[in-house]
Chains A and B, each alone.
Chain A
Amino acid sequence: MKGRTPFTLYGLLAVMAALAAVASFSGVATTVLLVNLLVFAALAYSINFITGMTGYVSFGHVVFMAIGSYSLAVLVSTYSTSPFEGIALGALLGGLFALGIGAVTLRFRGVYFAIASLVLALAGYNLVLQFPQFGPGGELIFYIPFQPLTVFFAIWGIVVAEIVLTFFVNRGKVGLGIRAIKDEEDAAAAAGVNPMKLKLYVYMLSGLFAGAAGAVFAWSTFGVNASSAFDLTFSLQMLAMILIGGMGTSTGPLLGASIVYLLYYELLTYPRLQGGQFLVVGAAVIVIALFVPDGIVGIIRRKYPSLKPVIE
């Protein structure tokens, strides 16, 4: 582990650099597409911190995304701040809520944690509707200049930070402890690992980045509304992305996010296929869960063992 060349990191950063070049030198339509793609990637890396690394399924992960979306929407629409302050607040609140929620729900194992997180998402939706600060029917719209490239670099920076963090967390002390927790939580404690501390740490990272991504999502759509901010489809898509790409890995979320995003929003968009995307992605998830639990990254590692150090 120590002293290994971080090929994976170089490779991923090269891909990100290429995306930045494409966004900078092509038309608005491509830039907008890449913004949407990277919002998905940011969400995938976010849920990867908790679900990919520890195996705790964050079913209601969309709640942290919504926290970010409302942070930005309220700041920009009500207080006329810059969207960047909205992203900062979204990240801060996302992280803090994750700490608070996780302190309770991370004590539940397996399906109980998943259900608790789902209940929170449903509660969040109803809570937002109660407060006029979040707009009528939980809808806030703001009018600011259309700057696709600025939005692009905001979400690009978030994804780069997530890639670097994922990589180093996985390689370091925390990563080894987290893997032990994922395999056998009690035995990890018997080896001196404090499971609660490590789970809270990655859950906090997870909430923080989902908040930041949710804020950018609101920015890119010039507003937020409750039914789409708390749409559980997002939660499912996030889970599908890391399952398909490779749970817990550094490469998997970007890979899975690209596949799921392109399938949903670019390839399978003919009117006749309305809803068909769900079937395609659902089938892919089932096949992968059954046959290759570590997703595409797992397939590549098994078929080409020599690529192991290149793809983490």
Chain B
Amino acid sequence: MPAVEVSNLSKSFGGVQALRGVSLSLGESEVLGLIGPNGSGKSTLLNVIAGVQKPTSGTVKLGGRAISGMRPDAIVKLGVAKTYQIPKPFASMSVRENVAVAALYGRRLRSVGPALEEADRTLAIVGMGDRSDLAAGSLTAQEKKRLELAKAIATGAKVLLLDEVFAGLSSEELRDSIALFRKMHEELRFSALVVEHVMRAVLNVSEGVVVLEEGRVIAAGSPDQIVHDERVVQAYLGSKGVGT
């Protein structure tokens, strides 16, 4: 059974159709890249799966159980966590406390002590152990992105919805982040839906790629198939070509 099964999902905002009957399935421990031009519905799709927005029609199933329409915090507790494209740290709290909130509530722990221990473990995994006592508001943009990832993992989620965690990094930072992601995936074996503009990241971390355009899936396949797909090259990569 796939970890997440999205069937015929539609979402409209007033007259704007952001998603038009999207279907896809994400296997256990699979990493699926989600690409498409701006406004193609990638972030909306993540938001609907995470419960931040309610679908107009269609269903999302998690391990066979329908979760569409549930509250975001309830969906997190069932094991689906989303990162924000623009990081939203709890600015007045330390990095450690930020992650502890996710562990405490995402994993339904009883008290703060074990949550802080879980936060320390998670921060070590994402390589932020030395940052744990800093105020989250004082982190650099890259560190805030990594903190988003740490919070998502700390919830104990088996399914991660990652919204542009690789964006805005220098070439070197990107290489490190990709290596880190692969290491984490080997260790934790989560499934992930990765929205990404940075093609190098998508091609390096995903086993499969789904391409959205104007709220529709226009292609799906292995990274290799996708970069050679005529429609994708036209619709999305355009004259820019591969490798940006």
Interface set of A (CB-CB < 8 Å, partner B): 1-3, 171-173, 176-177, 179-180, 182-184, 186-195
The answer to whether B93 has its CB under 8 Å from any CB of chain A is yes
CA distance A195 to B72 in the complex (A): 10
Interface pairs (7), CB distance under 8 Å: A2-B116, A183-B90, A184-B89, A190-B72, A190-B84, A193-B101, A194-B74
Minimal Cβ-Cβ distance residue in B for A171:
B112
Interface set of B (CB-CB < 8 Å, partner A): 50, 52, 71-74, 76-77, 81-82, 84, 88-93, 97, 100-102, 104-113, 115-116, 151, 155
**Shortest Cβ distance from B53 into chain A, in angstroms?**
12
By a CB distance below 8 angstroms, the chain A residues around B89 are 183-184, 187
Take A172-B111, A173-B111, A173-B112 as given contacts and tell me if A189 and B93 are in contact as well, using a CB distance cutoff of 8 Å: no
Take A183-B91, A183-B93, A184-B90 as given contacts and tell me if A191 and B112 are in contact as well, using a CB distance cutoff of 8 Å: no
Q: Of A1, A2, A176, A194, which one neighbours B73 at CB under 8 angstroms?
A: A194
By a CB distance below 8 angstroms, the chain A residues around B74 are 194
**Shortest Cβ distance from B26 into chain A, in angstroms?**
19
Contact status B111-A188, CB under 8 Å: no
Q: Which 8 A-B pairs have the closest CB atoms?
A: A2-B113, A192-B105, A192-B106, A183-B90, A187-B88, A192-B76, A191-B102, A189-B72
Take A1-B116, A194-B71, A194-B73 as given contacts and tell me if A180 and B84 are in contact as well, using a CB distance cutoff of 8 Å: no
Contact status B113-A177, CB under 8 Å: no
Contact status A192-B90, CB under 8 Å: no
By a CB distance below 8 angstroms, the chain B residues around A2 are 111-113, 116
Minimal Cβ-Cβ distance residue in B for A172:
B112
Take A186-B52, A194-B73 as given contacts and tell me if A179 and B92 are in contact as well, using a CB distance cutoff of 8 Å: yes
CA distance A179 to B94 in the complex (A): 11
By a CB distance below 8 angstroms, the chain A residues around B90 are 179-180, 183-184, 187-188
Contact status B116-A191, CB under 8 Å: no
By a CB distance below 8 angstroms, the chain A residues around B93 are 179-180, 183
**Shortest Cβ distance from A3 into chain B, in angstroms?**
8
Contact status B151-A191, CB under 8 Å: yes
Contact status B155-A192, CB under 8 Å: yes
By a CB distance below 8 angstroms, the chain B residues around A173 are 104, 109-112, 115
